[in-house]
Every structure is written in structure tokens, then in C-alpha cells.
Structure 1
């Protein structure tokens, strides 16, 4: 069989074909589950400027936090906590039973630990001498 490998076209990506095929395959093992849902939250100051945000997905009953950012000058004021708590609340409403995320050691492993996340794996020297922590939490 001859085949080629090339970047997917925009139409191919928008069609969701590859994701549907994988989901159909997965159903054979774990039963049906809801399609991926997106959680997109922003924190804004009194001038409506974005000072923090969270990007996550809910897939296979898991909240997967992909990005949580708070402006340097506003860290430690509870904005990250509010974003995380709201994402977890929304995720539970979408059927998530657990949460997972990755964070570098210079980012926020202690922050997530304070919110009930536990480190379940670590990749040492992921970049330079810094580790990447993989963390999870039951919702």
C-alpha cells in the first residue's frame, strides 16, 4: 500500500474526522463518552484588561488544564485560585470526575498542591535541569 504523510488541510482539521475515528475506536473499550468540551476563562481588571486566564478541555470525564496564567504583578491575589475553582466547577457539570495538568517546577507545582493536586509523575531535565510535574486531582 502506498501512502503519503502531509500536513492536514484546514478543512480536514475542521471536519473532525480523525478525532471521530479515534473516539469510535475508544468506545469499543470504555463505552461512549461525551465529545470534548472546552473551558475558556479570563479574569479582567476594572478596565476590562485580561489579567489572567485558563484554557482547558474536558475529555473522557477528565478536566485537562492546558494553560493557567496570571499577570506577574497580580500573582498571589487569588486570581489563579478563582480561575481554577471555576474551571473545576464547570468541568464537574460537564461530567468530569478527575483533573490533570502538567507544570514546570518554576511555574506552580506548590500552587496546585494547595488546591489538592498530587504529583503522579515527574520528567527530570525536561528542559535544562528543570523537571515537568504531572499532577492529578479527584473532582
Structure 2
């Protein structure tokens, strides 16, 4: 194909989902049809105040954690561990076998290590001299140990 144009799609074109549908159709040839991503949302509050939460999704047997935040006043109280544990249990119920996330060096690498995650890749100097750390955990072990 020699006659083509590179352009910025309109918001309507992006919302139509055509590109994603076409990619899924291509993928289905190799791995068969798969379901949509399933959200995993967990929050914590003290009284009426939101003190933390986790947002992620399960897709293709993986829990992908996009965000885990705990208010500074509630850190080191077990809130983060409870949020993560609850999300992992939900993910297992949705068919997840493993979990993955990214964290910056100044964020929560050590916290995740304590929760059984392992570092499998790192992008050094990702921002202002800090690395972006890729972590994963096998959730199947949770099924057999609990």
C-alpha cells in the first residue's frame, strides 16, 4: 500500500473503538477470543474520609495495578497491605493468576517487596534521576496457601 496519510484521529474516531476491535480480531487468530478487562476497585475510609484506594483491572489472567495510594497520615498502619490483599483476592476470583505494576523508586518498592512482589525490570533515569520499577507477583500461590 503506497497511498496513505498519517493524521491525528478525531475524538469521535477514537471513541468508536474501531482500532481496538481490529487489534482484537488480529489477536484472536493466535490466542482465541478473550473477554473484556474487568475492573478491580478497592477503597479505604476512616469515618467519611477517603484514606486510600487501589485501581486496576484483570485482563488475560493478569491483575494490572494502575494506582495504589494511601494518605500520608494512614501509611504504615496496614491500610496499603489490606487494600492490596483485597484487590488480589478479587482478581483471583476474576481468574487472575499473576499481578503486575510499576512504581517509581521514591514510591513503594520496598512495600511491594514485603507483599511478595519481585522486581523484574527497571528503567533507570526515567525521570530526574529516578528509575521506574516493574514488579510482578504470582497469585496462584495465594490460592493454595489460604
Q: What TM-score does the superposition give when structure 1 sets the normalisation length? A: 0.90
Larger Rg: 2
The alignment of Structure 1 onto Structure 2 pairs a total of residues equal to 137
Aligned counterpart, 1:33: 34
Q: Quick one: structure 1 residues 21 and 99, their matched pair in 2 at CA, closer, same or farther if it must change by over 3 Å?
A: same
Q: What TM-score does the superposition give when structure 2 sets the normalisation length? A: 0.86
State the 1:106 CA deviation.
0.7
State the 1:135 CA deviation.
0.4
Q: Are residue 91 (structure 1) and residue 118 (structure 2) matched?
A: no
How many Å separate the matches in 2 of 1:7 and 1:106? 36
Structure 1 regions of 5+ residues with no counterpart?
none
Pairing 1:32-71 to 2, within 5 Å after superposition: 32-46=33-47, 48-71=48-71
RMSD: 1.5
Asked whether the 8 Å contact 1:121–1:133 carries over to 2, the reply is: yes
State the 1:18 CA deviation.
2.3
How many Å separate the matches in 2 of 1:81 and 1:20? 36
SS at match of 2:122: strand
Structure 2 regions of 5+ residues with no counterpart?
140-146
